[in-house]
Structure 1
């Protein structure tokens, strides 16, 4: 029987990742059936409520203001616009809406108040509400919790060692601090990363070490495959092979058995068999 551990080492995780494929898949499926209904998949909708103009330099992100991409920037959506999109998502089978804003950090004021109203509005639709707004303070996390937020997404992106190759405008420790601020409330934590950014298997394992040694572990871990966008520093990175993605998802399942492992960015580039 698998149990949740918070003391995984990088060497242990690398050994799991490199297991013979069928053995890895069998172990991951066994763990999944122990902790989850194998016939249930949650469908989530990601909604960009404020697009573009971000001051950060994340090498993968087309929303960074410093990169020349085809992203069209938009101001913060209205509450009524968000409600309409949430209703459409619910009708399409989603039970969770995650609202994303291209901010470095949340600033108190009218825009944050508007986001809080969005949270209250979606919460009344009997849907899980998630936000990804950048760095937040403990007080801001508490206000989101009071508004009815179910989850806060703040990815660590990669291992602490490889992190500086991805972004320089926000430290790895800043990301952990935001997760800690969320943990001081009843809001659940959603935190994962991206593969395909030129990192090694050791870095992928390092990312899982950082996540799995959090106590408690994140309730939700999205595994993203890089979508290389023209105009970003990572535009020439090759697509992630489907079996690399499968190995990463399977390893994550084994290392964090109770966590919801989410297939996120890059999913649309995979065939249905690979997604399954």
Structure 2
């Protein structure tokens, strides 16, 4: 039985009061709520693959895949479908239950590349994994096609607050993000949406971003919390490293205001110690991204063996495949 109600009528002041609590009180509250809705020992292991890399026309200040920035990231055309399915099978063999495919597009276009992505979604779905995509903006009709192919989740992060958004991206606006999320919802696909800290935003911006997520008619089923991965050649390459306690505070606040959501400890783990990641799990994070390539899209990330060793040290275990459990 859960005693903490799911609310969609949070105020900025309420979330601010939660966020500003003494850290240990905040983590204790989050850990208590986490145990009402989730198994405290289970962590969903996910794999993220860049199926089309670089050459993006957007100007997101944090992203090394933007064509206008001079980075060391190599442009890669859309991968063959069979290559993607092989990566998904290997991810499943390594314990991942969710496979996310990312393409560096501004928006989905109705062309042969999108047809190929549809085939990829069908193929990964047939492996019995949760299939997720992040492809940029999309229409409701495109979302319906993805849903019919078996897409489980669509990732479209808010990145930051509505107020600070224009300081980070000028090639689209905050409402474009919301519109895509609404299109995903209408198509019956689960929503994966969170943000990045370390962009130069204030604590108030972080709270405002959580407010937007927590006051949606239905909370995102998945909320990734990312620490800025500083990429050489981007405008934010010299930003300071995100403090691990800031990550803990964000994760704990997200867990309290969106208790049933999966809170994903995402980018930035490569710069966190095992102890710091343990604090994030205690605060309510119950998912990580891993992979044999030791990258998260185009930035460094811990590998499978390292992550499995960490989970073992902490007495945690990979979450079982929900689709297979349901089938049984």
Query: Is TM more than 0.5 here?
Result: yes
1:75-94 superposed Cα distances (whole Å, 9 cap, x missing partner): 00011000111111111110
Distance in structure 2 (CA, Å) of the matches to 1:268 and 1:124: 32
Q: 1:76 aligns with which of 75, 78, 84?
A: 78
Structure 1 residue 10: deviation in Å? 1.4
Distance in structure 2 (CA, Å) of the matches to 1:154 and 1:60: 15
Distance in structure 2 (CA, Å) of the matches to 1:3 and 1:190: 21
1:129-169 superposed Cα distances (whole Å, 9 cap, x missing partner): 00000000000000000000000000010000000111000
- The secondary structure found in structure 2 opposite 1:119 is helix
Query: Any runs of at least 4 consecutive aligned residues in structure 1 with deviations exceeding 6 A, and if so which?
Result: none
1:77-124 superposed Cα distances (whole Å, 9 cap, x missing partner): 011000111111111110001100000000001000000000000001
Q: 1:104 aligns with which of 103, 106, 111?
A: 106
Q: 1:155 aligns with which of 154, 157, 171?
A: 157
In structure 2, the residue matched to 1:197 is 199
Q: Does 1:34 find its partner at 2:36?
A: yes
1:140-199 superposed Cα distances (whole Å, 9 cap, x missing partner): 000000000000000010000000111000110000000000011221000000000111
Number of residue pairs the alignment of both structures matches: 276
> Unaligned stretches of 5+ in structure 2?
279-328
Structure 1 residue 207: deviation in Å? 0.1
Structure 1 residue 15: deviation in Å? 1.2
Distance in structure 2 (CA, Å) of the matches to 1:212 and 1:34: 18
Q: 1:229 aligns with which of 213, 228, 231?
A: 231
- The secondary structure found in structure 2 opposite 1:126 is coil
1:18-58 superposed Cα distances (whole Å, 9 cap, x missing partner): 10111101100010000111111100000000000000000
Q: 1:214 aligns with which of 213, 216, 225?
A: 216
Structure 1 residue 11: deviation in Å? 1.4
In structure 1, the residue matched to 2:7 is 5
RMSD of aligned alpha carbons: 0.6
Structure 1 residue 237: deviation in Å? 0.4
Distance in structure 1 (CA, Å) of the matches to 2:87 and 2:248: 31
> Unaligned stretches of 5+ in structure 1?
none
- The secondary structure found in structure 2 opposite 1:106 is coil
